[in-house]
Structure 1
Amino acid sequence: MTEQHPRGVYSAALTPVTTEGTPDATLFVTHCQRLLAEGCDGIAMLGTTGEANSFANDERRALLEAVVAAGIAPDRLLPGTGVAALSETVALTRHALSLGVTTVVMLPPFYYKGVTEDGLFAAYAEVVQRLADPRLRIVLYHIPQMSAVPIPFPVIARLRAAYPGTFSGIKDSAGDLAHMEALVEACPGLAVLAGADPLMLPLLRKGGAGCITATSNLVAADLAFVFRHFSDLNRAAEVEAAQARIVAMRNRASRFAQMASLKALLADRTGEEGWHRLRPPLLPLSEAERGALLVE
């Protein structure tokens, strides 16, 4: 079996928004540095939690440039580069590579539904062929509840056979532990990353590689502890306590709209008011919801 990569705890980082509605690069860099200091192995920026599909490609490029310019190592970044238009997916991925960022998280093209396995394979294959860069590593992004385009096992197998080493992982955000465990079994060496915080621990016990999760914006230290000590019987009680805190925070952040709740909780923790803002169509919590969330 080849070594899994990426491996560890990656935060699906929230994106702060300025009063003008643009990504706040300064606050975002501060947040990324804080997440790494708290134990994250890397930052999976510009994903679902980061509101990526609400931002234009030039905004996405500028934010990635700001993070790299701030001194965060490119090999600790997993930006989302998959969009509906194949040519734009290629352009975003090429931009990441130009900055030294070699691993990206890539949604399938998601506008057309019911596409065939051949069509899905062809879309990913054409991205790889157009880029023709041996450094490229792709983490597939399986989130059918949002994309409505699942990534079937046969497509994963074909891509890995056709482009050895390129398709290095998968973020499974469907919330089905049995599906993640089946991926581990069916795809030796593939880094299977849980997209839901509470599922990282049971997935690790089945050979999973870690997580890319939203609640890590608030419980990075606990997730890092679980990842590093889940197999240490001498620290089993501490692992279970950390896992309980992870589950409790995930449940708390899911009571109302998740991204708005995470931002409200982060604003409350840090005192950074910029976290309250989201880009429409997503909206902040109402005053009543925020009050209920913060008194828990």
Structure 2
Amino acid sequence: MSQSRLQGVIAASITPVTPDHQIDVPRLAAHIGQLLAKGCSHVSTFGTTGEGASFATGQKVAALQALKAMGVDMGRQVPAIMTPVLDDAVRSLVAYRELGCRAVLVLPPFYYGATEAGIAGFYDALIERTSGASDIDLLLYNIPQLSRVKFTKSLVETILSRHGSRIVGIKDSTGDIENGLMLVESFRNLAIFTGDDRVLPTLVSKGGAGMIGGMPNVFASDLKALYDNPGNREILDKQAKRIVAVDNHGSLVALKAALAHYGGDEDLARALPPLQALDAKQRASLIALFEDTGFRAAA
């Protein structure tokens, strides 16, 4: 691709939700603007943190169209495709390319627990059916704890052997530092991202591209500083404690609760069913843990 290499801190944005379970586009646009202003290189909407598997394809496409109409820079958007439905994946990829998005993060089809040959076949079909959108970069999304599919070295090699010109990177959300380093060492031409703050410094020091994760929703400035200075042990220790706190309080709903608290906007705490917003006691526990790390306001 002629575009510059993807790298840096890419925020996997939360998705604000209206009371009638729609995407709150104005709040999403404002949040994206804040993330970019705080140092994120790009924003990834509708991934795991963005409840991407819970929204319909039409909702997500319409939201991105509205964001573009509002002046959001689509060249800094890396939306996710999270669906086991091939037709929906095709529709999404074509739409995101037409909108001018920088790249697309593609989750493998979940539910069936398919073989590696079947997973490779899904990417074959997606790429063959979107030949008119061949000028948008694709990243593989490795999150086996939710997708039930692991991008092993052999699976990545198979996909690259068929579609190497389309695949530019991998997001490794296993949290396994050795797996991340294996991907960096094995695929030097790919941009390897971690989804885990604790892996970020080592991955970057070994040639990794950065992170695509949910924690920048609240801690973008600190994570940009950690990316720029991987040896900063103070920030790493704080982020390690913060990510444990988030994981122990419901992950993405914890991030939403923190944004609602620090931003003074309770609508940001709302999640799409079946997820539920933290109650007052849970939120107080989360905020207390953040403040124990010295965090007082959105950084």
Amino acid at match of 1:122: G
- Which deviates further from its counterpart, 220-229 or 20-29? 220-229
1:248 is matched with 241
1:216 is matched with 216
CA displacement at 1:246 relative to structure 2: 2.0
1:166 is matched with 166
- Which deviates further from its counterpart, 44-53 or 217-226? 217-226
Q: 1:74, 1:99 within 8 Å by CA — same for their partners in 2?
A: yes
CA displacement at 1:101 relative to structure 2: 1.4
Residue by residue over 1:157-201, the C-alpha shift from the partner in whole angstroms, topping out at 9 and shown as x without a partner, is: 122222232110010011111001001111111111001122111
1:104 is matched with 104
SS at match of 1:138: strand
SS at match of 1:108: coil
CA pair 3-247 structure 1, distance change in 2 beyond 3 A: farther
Q: 1:5, 1:190 within 8 Å by CA — same for their partners in 2?
A: no
Q: With structure 2 as the length reference, what TM-score do the two structures score? A: 0.92
Q: What percentage of residue pairs aligned between the two structures are identical? A: 32
CA pair 243-250 structure 1, distance change in 2 beyond 3 A: same
Q: 2:15, 2:51 within 8 Å by CA — same for their partners in 1?
A: yes
Q: C-alpha separation between the residues in 2 aligned to 1:70 and 1:249?
A: 33
2:8 is matched with 8
Aligned length: 287
Q: C-alpha separation between the residues in 2 aligned to 1:94 and 1:104?
A: 10
Q: With structure 1 as the length reference, what TM-score do the two structures score? A: 0.92
Q: C-alpha separation between the residues in 2 aligned to 1:292 and 1:77?
A: 33
2:29 is matched with 29
SS at match of 1:6: coil
- Within a 5 Å distance, the mapping from 1:142-181 to structure 2 comes to 142-181=142-181
Unaligned runs of 5+ residues in structure 1 are: 231-235
Do structure 1's residue 130 and structure 2's residue 137 form an aligned pair? no
Q: C-alpha separation between the residues in 1 aligned to 2:104 and 2:3?
A: 18
CA displacement at 1:104 relative to structure 2: 0.2
2:286 is matched with 293
Q: 2:53, 2:82 within 8 Å by CA — same for their partners in 1?
A: no
- Which deviates further from its counterpart, 3-12 or 265-274? 3-12
Q: 1:4, 1:191 within 8 Å by CA — same for their partners in 2?
A: no
CA displacement at 1:102 relative to structure 2: 4.3
Q: 1:4, 1:168 within 8 Å by CA — same for their partners in 2?
A: no
CA pair 124-75 structure 1, distance change in 2 beyond 3 A: same
Do structure 1's residue 227 and structure 2's residue 220 form an aligned pair? no
Q: Please, what is the CA RMSD of the aligned residues?
A: 1.7
Residue by residue over 1:88-141, the C-alpha shift from the partner in whole angstroms, topping out at 9 and shown as x without a partner, is: 10001111011111410000011211x222211111011111100330211100
CA displacement at 1:222 relative to structure 2: 1.2
1:188 is matched with 188
Moved over 4 A (4+): none
Q: 1:82, 1:107 within 8 Å by CA — same for their partners in 2?
A: yes
Residue by residue over 1:204-260, the C-alpha shift from the partner in whole angstroms, topping out at 9 and shown as x without a partner, is: 111111000111101111111122233xxxxx5xx2222233223212212211111
